[in-house]
Amino acid sequence: MLSSSSETLAIGIDVGASNTKIGLVDSRARLLDHHVLPSHLEGSDPTPFLEMISAVIRQYTPARAVQGIGVSLCCLVNAEHTGALLSVNAPALNGLNIQQALHDRFGCAVQVLNDVQAYALAEYHHGAGRGAERLLCLALGTGLAIAVILHGRCYETWGGVPADAGRIILQPEAEARCNAGVRGSAEALCGVAQIERLARAAGGDETLSARQVIAAAREQSDERAVQVMGEIGGHVGHLLALLSPVYFPQRILVTGGTAEAGEPLFRAIRARYATLIGDYMTELARLERGEARPVEILKGGLGPEASILGAAWGFLQNG
């Protein structure tokens, strides 16, 4: 048995374009069990995906009364929070009312939110975001997305997110464009495609992957990799400086595969941020708290399962 029958439990599902993670979570944010499955959402028919995740959910539900199922999606979510508003990388989600589909199968409450929102909620309540009244989270990988927590609640404008930060233009004259076609955007200058372009141009190896560059930078075993991640970090610091007078974060967390580059990336992020807006944000902290305090820029602390915990959190907060 994974848990006693009296425990408050929920299921968290983190739907990614490549993989879907499903976990059973208790009220102390412990991941009692979890599965990682290939998503296979490239086509237009979501039925195989629904059958796949339902088979896992059934392993958790027969002997356990779960409070509900939380689903985080790798895309903008619709206004009703029943499914995707637009999913570019997992098109089978488009038009799918995943909330209704899972409710019909299991008869329990289902909540749907954006995956970076789920990550931010988990970090705010149980991870590196604890104690921050205003938390800004940046997910950095193939794409780029943000979530904002204000006094314990997710802030949204549209699509289940506070802003489409990947489309913020950092360099209008840049040649690089993101997948949405925006020239010089944050995603174009910070995403994995840009890491590979910079690294291949520096080293002449057209097979070099972003994963290799990130690992080499983390281990500081290749000066070119360190330099590439330093350039990426400079752009990230610029983006965070633009976002800060909008959301006034007390703490900023960076997550995603690119964050695994470690100190070479974060050193550059913090330096650029400090140069552009650090003094101003520190002075605001003095006005608010009576103490000059720089904005903390940290790596997320909960790891790749954070979105499972965040997706389930809405059913466990009173557990």
- Give the residue extent of every domain in the chain: 9-119+305-313, 131-299
Q: Is 215 exposed, middle or buried (0-12, 13-18, 19+ CB in 10 A)?
A: middle
Per-residue pLDDT at 88:
81
Provide the pLDDT for residue 63: 58
What was the pLDDT predicted at 275?
98
Q: Take residue 119 and report the two structure tokens written for it.
A: 């990550």
Mean pLDDT (the chain, rounded): 92
Among the four given CATH numbers 3.40.1280.10, 3.20.20.60, 3.40.120.10, 3.30.420.40, the one describing domain 9-119+305-313: 3.30.420.40
**% of the chain surpassing 70 pLDDT:** 97
Of 15, 4, 102, which Cα lies nearest the Cα of 319? 4
pLDDT, tens digit, for every residue of 101-156? 999 999 999 999 999 999 999 999 999 999 999 999 999 988 899 999 999 899 99
Q: Same fold for the domain at 9-119+305-313 and the one at 131-299? A: yes
What's the CATH architecture for 131-299? 2-Layer Sandwich (3.30)
Q: Which whole number is the average pLDDT over 197-223?
A: 92
- pLDDT value for 92: 95
Q: How far apart are CA 306 and CA 137, in angstroms?
A: 12
DSSP assigned state of 278: I
Contact call for residues 125 and 115 (beta carbons, < 8 A): no
Instruction: Name the token pair of 293.
Output: 């305090």
Phi/psi zone of residue 47: left (φ > 0), alpha (ψ -120 to 50 degrees), beta? alpha
The tens digit of pLDDT for each residue in 236-292 reads 999 999 999 999 999 999 999 999 999 999 999 999 999 999 999 999 999 998 999
The model carries a pTM of: 0.90
Closest alpha carbon to 105 in 144, 142, 69? 69
C-alpha 14/C-alpha 16 separation (Å) is 6
Could you tell me which residues are beta bridge partners of residue 255?
139
pLDDT at 2: 43
